[in-house]
Amino acid sequence: MLAPMASASADEPRGMLETIHHHKMLASTIPDNGDVNPYAVVVAPVTIGSIEQGDVLVDNFNNISNLQGTGTTIVNYRPSTKQTKLFAQVPQNLKDCPGGVGLTTAMTMLKSGWVIVGSTPSTDGTTRTKGDGCLLVFDATGKHVATWAGPTINGPWGNMVTVDHGDSATLFISMAGFNIPGPEVVDPVTHYPVTVREATVLRLEVTIPEGKPPVLQSQTVIGSGFAQRADKDNFLFGPTGLALGPDDTLYVTDGLDNEISAIADASTRTTSAKTGKTVTKDGLLGWPLAMVMTPAGHLLVANGKNGQAVEVDPVSGKQIYAHWLDPNQAQSPPGNGDLFGLALTPDNKGFYYVEDDVNALVVGTP
């Protein structure tokens, strides 16, 4: 199950992935309306409303027709009862969200109970009809209470990093929709859809008045120039994984450039670090997508090009090893396009992930 780097030595630091020996499929993520393609995975930090602490929220990017950018549902899996219920659903053509609704990996839940999720919508399942999208705010019962949109919000895409202070919060999110054409616009050299280097990382400062929805106070672009392009099979590629280190370094996965980069002073900087400093590139990475930081300070990354997760030491930049999460031979390479969201379990010993090929929530444990 493990794929160590050939250069790994006996004294290579141990990490979480080598302790994961069991993978259990927990539940289908398909709600009654037939939405498919699970993207975001978020573990509830508190018990409030219809949510119990430790519940796992998963949203869907596709509708029943499997058109990307059209999913409108969030489901809630409860580990204590092993039951899955619909948490929230919004209209496909929600008027306050430019272009409509297609829920992405950008989702978080605040300690005050509010759930915030990104929408990168389409009407035909491709970026040809992509709207700018928005961020949707739900209360703890799943009621849609607010919509955030504007010129800095275009294609909210990657998993959200949240620094939650209770009455205020800082959110980091990637935006991968700026000026991205349809998949038919092809680079004459590569014969792939053209790459546009306009994706950003946005920092949002939010206040949470008691008993009222969060209020967006400020927005700062702290990273820019990341690669993005349309894709017929994957809708689009853009910076997806975000993880914040204890030294206020924000790590970002860039799938197209197949690397992880670092943005220093993420919480305080007032200007863009551009694409930051490269931490690691290529090797075991294969279209790195969602990313979380382990308690030991390593990065766990889900590969989009195969069914592996990769563990990285961000200080040294060493890729420690890869571990098969989804070795489905029906794809080439195995597990290609199946992984997306990641979230640590509450005990920090395992992690939840989704398999898009079977529309299921899975947990990896020691």
Tens digits of residue pLDDT in 64-115: 999 999 999 999 999 999 999 999 999 999 989 999 999 999 999 999 999 9
Tell me the per-residue pLDDT of 206-221, one tens digit each, with 9 for 90 and over.
999 998 999 999 999 9
> What percent of the chain has a predicted confidence (pLDDT) above 70?
96
- In this predicted structure, the answer to whether residue 5 has a pLDDT above a threshold of 50 is no
What was the pLDDT predicted at 107? 98
- Chain-centre distance for alpha carbon 276: 19
Q: Which residues is 362 bridged to in the sheet?
A: 25, 353
What was the pLDDT predicted at 223? 98
What was the pLDDT predicted at 11? 55
7 pLDDT band, cuts 50/70/90, is very low
Q: The whole model's pTM is what?
A: 0.95
Residues 366, 348: Cα–Cα separation, whole Å: 11
Candidate ranges 138-142, 209-213, 318-322; pick with highest mean pLDDT: 138-142
What was the pLDDT predicted at 4? 44
What was the pLDDT predicted at 1? 41
Tell me the per-residue pLDDT of 228-256, one tens digit each, with 9 for 90 and over.
999 988 999 999 999 999 999 999 999 99
- Chain-centre distance for alpha carbon 262: 17
Residues 6+ apart with CB under 8 A from 348: 294, 295
What was the pLDDT predicted at 10? 52
* 13 against 172, higher pLDDT: 172
Q: How does the average pLDDT of the chain come out, rounded?
A: 94
Count CB neighbours of 108 within 10 A: 23
Cβ-count burial 134-159 (b if 16+ within 10 Å, e if not): bbbbbbbebebebbbbeeebbbbbbb
What's the mean pLDDT in 9-37?
A: 88
326 pLDDT band, cuts 50/70/90, is confident
What was the pLDDT predicted at 327? 84
- Domains (ranges, CATH) in the chain? 2-365 (2.120.10.30)
335 pLDDT band, cuts 50/70/90, is confident
What was the pLDDT predicted at 233? 87
Q: What is the 3-state secondary structure (H, E, C) of the chain?
A: CEEECCCCCCCCCCCCHHHCCEEEEEEECCCCCCCEEEEEEEECCCCECCECCCCEEEEEEECCCCCECCCCEEEEEECCCCEEEEEEECCCCCCCCCCCCCEEEEEEECCCCCEEEEECCCCCCCHHHCCCCEEEEECCCCCEEEEECECCECCECCCCEEEECCCEEEEEEEECCCCCCCCCCECCCCCCECEEEEEEEEEEEEECCCCCCCEEEEEEEEEEEEEEEEECCCEEECCCCEEECCCCCEEEEECCCCEEEEECCCCCCCCCCCCCEEEEECCCCCCEEEEEECCCCCEEEEECCCCEEEEEECCCCEEEEEEECCCCCCCCCCCCCCEEEEEECCCCCCEEEEECCCCEEEEEEC
Residues 362, 342: Cα–Cα separation, whole Å: 10
